[in-house]
Amino acid sequence: MNAVIKDTTNTPHSEVFEKLWTLDHPELGTDPVSTEPLLSPEYFERERDLVFRRSWLNVGREGQIPNPGDYFVQEVAVCNTSVILVRGKDGTIRGFHNVCMHRQTKLVWDSKGTCGGFRCKYHGWSYSTDGRLVGIPDEDQFFDSFEKSENGLLPVTTDIWEGFIYINLEPNPKETLREFLGEMGERLSGYPFKELSTCYAYSGVLNANWKTGMYAFNEVYHLAFVHAASGGESLVPKENRYGRPLWVGLGSRHHTNTVGGSSNFKMTPVEAIAARHGPTVSQGAIGSLPGTNPSQHPNFALDINVIFPNHFVDTFQGTYFTYNFWPISVDKTYYEMRTYYAPPKNAAERFAQEFSRVWFRDILLEDLEVIEHSQQGLASGVRTELHLQDSEVCVRHHLKVVDDHVAQRV
């Protein structure tokens, strides 16, 4: 289904900050929400099968494996699964379960590399990059019931959208990737993702539920407090002190929250130098590119785009970043953050990118600390409900979408 979006393009901008977006979506309700989805092992088990095994999952970008034989391994711990993504000799990117078809030993132990094929370290069975079983030591000792051509690597459904690689662990997905992305995919297709190929990455393990992690990045109500020292002022102008959304688009699964900037933000001398030579978020409001700023608000800073269940694609002017939150257990999550820029043409542009990525890093570290403290508070059990205000409408939306899947209402 496509997003249900209310057009506010012609709404006076002074009225946007007074708007209650939640009320446009009565299906979300306004009551407190349960903490069970953030704490319950039983709920987490249902998420394994009903959310992650049945959704399209982003695992990276095709630029990570640009040449034939390049590969990387994506661990999907929540599904007890490891997947090889490899570019074949024909240039096609394919996904395979990272399991040898002999004794079902994990086939590839490295996280990435380049090869002409894969060989199991246990008994030496070998496979081509298109998954065919091509070598078996002492092959004639197997019995008549064994058929070599039927024992290639088990494929994982793989597709690409705008350079992003997605997998689906269902043997026969119920919908294509483009059907799954719907309006979100159509709108973001105008953004110049492929031109922004220089990537910086951060990753680690977070002691929190995957949704607790996601929800720190789903709203900017917290910016004036958590990020007061690191640059929150660039995104919280006086007229919008608490980060109310400029625009919200809620679909059947995905959502967008448009964040405003501060056009009068006074940069430090170092920030000003960086801003002259490349994109830095702390510039505040700096315009918009195709695929961004759906309401065409003049003070646009970024769009927080969340592709269900665990993928953020946050688009700015001249840069974008992604988050992926991979559940490990009910209270442990592996997170990945990547920032993307155009390849720098000189030292000044490289300096601007270094400034920007360090800014992102500092923001990330502040968020991660708060997330773990949030999970600790939730685990205390002193309350079983959360009160969410209107700026947290995307948190409420994601909770409902997850719950609809867990309860099999979709």
Q: Report the CATH number that the domain containing residue 146 is assigned in CATH.
A: 2.102.10.10
Q: Are 47 and 69 in the same domain?
A: no
Q: Are 273 and 310 in the same domain?
A: yes
Q: Are 100 and 26 in the same domain?
A: no
Whether pTM > 0.85 for this model: the answer is yes
Give CA–CA dist 107/334, Å, rounded: 22
Q: Are 42 and 87 in the same domain?
A: no
Burial of 215 (0-12, 13-18, 19+ CB in 10 A): buried
Burial of 261 (0-12, 13-18, 19+ CB in 10 A): buried
List average pLDDT for each run of 10 residues in the chain, which is 410 residues long: 40 66 97 98 98 98 98 98 98 98 97 98 98 97 95 98 98 96 95 95 97 96 86 72 92 95 79 83 62 88 96 92 97 97 95 90 94 98 97 98 96
Which pLDDT value is given to residue 7? Answer: 41
Which pLDDT value is given to residue 217? Answer: 95
Q: Are 314 and 242 in the same domain?
A: yes
Which pLDDT value is given to residue 290? Answer: 87
Q: Are 366 and 286 in the same domain?
A: yes
Domain termination residue (choose one: 113, 139, 173): 173
Q: How many domains does the chain have?
A: 2
Q: Could you tell me if residue 180 is inside a domain?
A: no
Give CA–CA dist 212/374, Å, rounded: 8
Instruction: Please give the residue range of the domain that contains residue 314.
Output: 13-53+186-406
Q: Are 127 and 220 in the same domain?
A: no
Q: Are 26 and 129 in the same domain?
A: no
98 Cβ contact list (under 8 Å, min separation 6):
73, 82, 83, 84, 106, 107, 108
Q: Are 205 and 157 in the same domain?
A: no
Which pLDDT value is given to residue 283? Answer: 55
Q: Are 47 and 78 in the same domain?
A: no
Q: Could you tell me if residue 373 is inside a domain?
A: yes
Domain termination residue (choose one: 152, 173, 194): 173
Q: Could you tell me if residue 7 is inside a domain?
A: no
Q: Are 159 and 76 in the same domain?
A: yes
Domain termination residue (choose one: 150, 173, 196): 173
In the numeric block, which tokens belong to residue 270? 């170092």
